[in-house]
Structure 1
Amino acid sequence: MKHMSFGDYIDWDPQATNGQTKQICGVKSQLSVEKAKENLLEFGSIGITEMFNESLLLIKKKFKWGNIKYKKVNVTKSRPLLNEVPIDIIKKIEKHNELGIELFQYIKSNFIKQINDL
């Protein structure tokens, strides 16, 4: 694995193909966005990394937590920016994660609605 290109790794690792959708569906379930959506109803809360502060706000409100203070630690300093990732790699990731992208769009639209309702 150390000597693989990122593109080869995407093809090799099963988690790189709709991995999060598989986890949300459950090991004994058939892989589908509809099953994942159904299972999400059992989650206490759902956050979005790209909207971390907003996620904390919703979680705080839902669970009636007090003030939340945090600081960023363990941040990858060498992570490439999106515009530095070759387009063929982005397309490969998108192809391998069509269900995950569909699920994320559903989650994000519901998330934004919750934020707007506040």
Structure 2
Amino acid sequence: MNNHEKAKSLIFLHIPKSAGTTLNKIIENNYDKEAIFTIGIDTQGSINKFKNIPELERKKIKVLKGHMPFGLHELMPQPCTYITLLRHPVERIISSYHYILRSPVHYLHNYVTTKQISLENFVSTGMSTDTDNGQTRRLAGVSAGKLSGERIVDFGECYPELLTQAKENLINHFSVVGVVDKFDESLLLMKKELAWNNCYYISRNITKHKPNERQIKKETIEIIKENNQLDLQLYTFAQELLSQKIEKQGNRFAQELKNFQAKNNLYARFNRLKYWSRLEASRLKKLVMGAKYS
């Protein structure tokens, strides 16, 4: 356990479609509800609300989390540390597109479905800067441009220095940089680094019925890669950071991971049984009530 990191407030920079909803729930299980501030769908509105909290009250915040650009630690009067999860850009964008198709609450849903926008057009037309090195943008802090009038970077205009800045931020400000394809390893490191207790989970907000990369046209995959060259490099860098941190744990880490995964599998099975038991109880109750008044 790192007592120095434990003493700091935590900022979870949630990159969309990168297992963040699952990690959000784990975070909520480890901190008092009153000590958590969540950046909501209205990012600017949430940031303004946070800014307007008196400094003495902001000092009590132990967790700031949500879809946000890097840099909000500057609004925290107390020492902070960040965590995040990155995902392979191709997988993330495919997942994002299919999430939009199936989520009427998403701000792009009506446009994408009404216009029958294909994945290829979704990526290439510039309707969302998130499809243009979205992870690098957030971790370099350039998303703050649209929020505060600074460092605006339009679609297709990302430059190499953004990648350099994102890497520096990961090195200098993040306790753990995780990746989705090693979620359990990332989580176990966060547990150790931040002295979390309850880290068992059920995967949440998984985009259903989406095709995998092999089912997508090669031309579309190449467009995604071309538009996300910085994100591809950043993802590789994040993998390297994670591997280095795991290596520092020594040989015992592999056994700790195996033990955690075994216990988490039991936890997930138990909760699925509870869920189906509640459904069955509800169904039986309706049958009984229906018979009573028939």
* TM-score, normalised via structure 1 length: 0.89
Question: Does 1:111 pair with 2:242?
Answer: yes
Secondary structure of the residue aligned to 1:83 is helix
Matched length = 118
Q: Is the 8 A contact 2:120 2:223 kept in 1?
A: yes
Match of 1:24? 139
Deviation at 1:89, TM superposition (A): 1.1
- The whole-number CA distance in structure 2 between the counterparts of 1:18 and 1:74 is 22
Q: Does 79-88 or 100-109 show the bigger shift?
A: 79-88
Match of 1:90? 221
1:1-118 equivalence runs, <5 A: 1-2=112-113, 3-12=116-125, 13-27=128-142, 28=150, 31-40=161-170, 41-118=172-249
Q: Is the 8 A contact 2:136 2:234 kept in 1?
A: yes
- The whole-number CA distance in structure 2 between the counterparts of 1:103 and 1:25 is 11
Higher strand share: 2
Give the percent of matched residue pairs that are identical in Structure 1 and Structure 2.
30
Q: Larger relative CO (CA 8 A, sep 6+): 1 or 2?
A: 1
Larger Rg, first or second structure (1 or 2): 2
Gaps of 5+ in 2: 1-111, 143-149, 152-158, 250-294
- The whole-number CA distance in structure 1 between the counterparts of 2:240 and 2:187 is 17
Q: Is the 8 A contact 2:177 2:241 kept in 1?
A: no
CA-atom RMSD in angstroms: 1.7
Deviation at 1:20, TM superposition (A): 1.1
- The whole-number CA distance in structure 2 between the counterparts of 1:38 and 1:75 is 30
Gaps of 5+ in 1: none
